[in-house]
Structure 1
Amino acid sequence: MLRDEIAKALKVLQNGGIILYPTDTIWGIGCDASNTEAVKKIYALKQREESKSMIILLDVDNKLQSYVNDVPEIAYDLMEYAEHPLTLVMPGAKNISPALIAEDGSIGVRVTNHEFCKQLIQRLRKPLVSTSANISGEPSPKNFGQISPEIIDGVDYVVDLEQHDMGEKRPSTIMRLQPDGRFEFLRR
Structure 2
Amino acid sequence: MFAASRSQCQIIRNCLQYSIQPMSFFVPVTESGWCVAAVERAAQFILEGKVIALPTDTVYGLAAAAQNIQAIEQLYKIKGRDRKKPVAICVNSVKSISCWGKVAGLPPGLLDTLLPGPVTVVLERTSDLNPTLNAGTSKVGIRIPDSEFVLQLCKRLGTPLALTSANASNEPSSLAPEEFQSLWPHLAAVFHCGRIGDSTSLRTGSTVVDLSVPGKYHILRPGSALASIKRVLERFEIVEHDTCCVLKSHDLFCGCTRVD
The equivalent of 2:182 in structure 1 is 150
The equivalent of 2:25 in structure 1 is none
**Preserved CA contact (<8 Å) 1:70 1:92:** no
Deviation of 1:79 (Å): 5.2
Residues 70 and 164 (structure 1), Cα distance of their counterparts in 2 relative to 1, 3 Å cut: closer
Q: TM-score, normalised by structure 2?
A: 0.66
Structure 2's unaligned 5+ residue stretches are 1-29, 223-260
Query: Which letter maps to 2:193?
Result: E
Query: Which letter maps to 1:100?
Result: L
RMSD: 2.1
Query: Which letter maps to 2:138?
Result: G
Residues 165 and 184 (structure 1), Cα distance of their counterparts in 2 relative to 1, 3 Å cut: closer
Is residue 96 of structure 2 the alignment partner of residue 31 of structure 1?
no
Match of 1:182 among 196, 216, 219: 216
Match of 2:149 among 87, 112, 116: 116
Query: Which letter maps to 1:158?
Result: V
Residues 165 and 64 (structure 1), Cα distance of their counterparts in 2 relative to 1, 3 Å cut: closer
The equivalent of 1:73 in structure 2 is 106
Cα distance between partner residues in 2 of 1:90 and 1:146 = 32
**Preserved CA contact (<8 Å) 2:91 2:151:** yes
Q: Determine helix, strand or coil for the equivalent of 1:151.
A: helix
Q: Percent identity?
A: 26
Residues 138 and 71 (structure 1), Cα distance of their counterparts in 2 relative to 1, 3 Å cut: farther
Match of 1:162 among 167, 185, 193: 193
Q: Determine helix, strand or coil for the equivalent of 2:99.
A: helix
Match of 1:105 among 134, 138, 143: 138
**Preserved CA contact (<8 Å) 1:79 1:86:** no
The equivalent of 2:87 in structure 1 is 54
Give deviations 1:33-77, integer Å, cap 9, x for gaps: 110100110100111111111001111001111001344323841
**Preserved CA contact (<8 Å) 1:58 1:118:** yes
Is residue 96 of structure 2 the alignment partner of residue 63 of structure 1?
yes
Is residue 42 of structure 2 the alignment partner of residue 5 of structure 1?
no
Cα distance between partner residues in 1 of 2:37 and 2:179 = 25
Query: For the pair shown, which has the larger CA radius of gyration, 1 or 2?
Result: 2
Match of 1:173 among 178, 196, 207: 207
Match of 1:136 among 158, 169, 181: 169
Residues 83 and 65 (structure 1), Cα distance of their counterparts in 2 relative to 1, 3 Å cut: closer
**Which deviates more from structure 2 when the two are superposed, residues 163-172 or residues 135-144?**
163-172
Q: Determine helix, strand or coil for the equivalent of 1:174.
A: strand
**Which deviates more from structure 2 when the two are superposed, residues 100-109 or residues 54-63?**
100-109
Residues 99 and 163 (structure 1), Cα distance of their counterparts in 2 relative to 1, 3 Å cut: farther
Cα distance between partner residues in 1 of 2:55 and 2:132 = 23
Q: Give the length in aligned residue pairs.
A: 186
Give deviations 1:102-150, integer Å, cap 9, x for gaps: 5221110012221001110000000111100011111112333322x22
